[in-house]
Amino acid sequence: MIKVVTIGGGTGAPVIIQALLQAGFTDLSCICASMDSGGKTGIIRSDERDHVIAISDLLRNLIALITSTNHKKNIRAFTDMVSFIDGRQRNLGYTIYYAMLEKYQNNFLKVQEHLEDLLGIKFGGTAIPITTDSSNLYFKTKAGQTFRGEHELDKQSMSKNTITKLWLDPKVQASPEAIRAIKTAKYIIYCPGSLYGSILSNFLPRGVKKALKASRAKKILITNLVSNRNQTHHFTPKKYLRVFQRYTGLKKPFNIFLAPKQSKLRFNRLHPKIAASYAHEHSHFLGWTKKKLKGLSQYHIKVVTSDTISITTRLNRLRHDPEKLARVFRKIIK
Q: How many whole angstroms separate alpha carbon 240 and alpha carbon 220?
A: 12
CA-to-CA separations, 305 to 8, 37, 93, 228, 298, in angstroms, rounded: 21, 35, 39, 21, 17
Give me the pLDDT at residue 154, please.
87
Give me the pLDDT at residue 40, please.
64
**SS3 state at 319:** strand
Give me the pLDDT at residue 43, please.
66
The vertex-310 CA angle with 308 and 316, nearest 5°, equals 140
Could you say which of 3.10.105.10, 3.40.50.10680, 3.30.470.10, 3.40.50.10190 is the CATH number of the domain covering 3-67+123-332? 3.40.50.10680
Give me the pLDDT at residue 68, please.
76
Report domain extents, the chain: 3-67+123-332
Q: How many whole angstroms separate alpha carbon 131 and alpha carbon 172?
A: 7
Residue 298 DSSP symbol = G
Give me the pLDDT at residue 139, please.
97
β-sheet with 27-32: strand ranges across: 125-129, 27-32, 3-7, 187-190, 218-222, 256-260, 302-306
Helices 108-119 and 92-103 meet at what angle, rounded to 10? 120
Q: How many whole angstroms separate alpha carbon 109 and alpha carbon 119?
A: 15
Q: How many whole angstroms separate alpha carbon 307 and alpha carbon 273?
A: 19
Give me the pLDDT at residue 70, please.
66
pLDDT in tens, the chain (334 residues): 899 999 999 999 999 999 999 999 999 999 999 998 766 666 666 666 666 888 989 999 999 999 876 667 777 877 787 777 777 767 778 888 899 999 999 999 999 999 999 888 889 999 999 999 999 999 999 999 999 998 898 888 899 999 999 999 999 999 999 999 999 999 999 999 999 999 999 999 999 999 999 999 999 999 999 999 999 999 999 999 999 999 999 999 999 999 999 999 999 999 999 999 999 999 999 999 999 999 999 999 999 999 999 998 888 899 999 999 999 999 999 8
Asked whether 141 and 63 are in contact (CB, 8 A), the reply is no
The H-assigned helical ranges of 84-216 are: 92-103, 108-119, 151-155, 176-184, 208-214
Residue 174 DSSP symbol = P
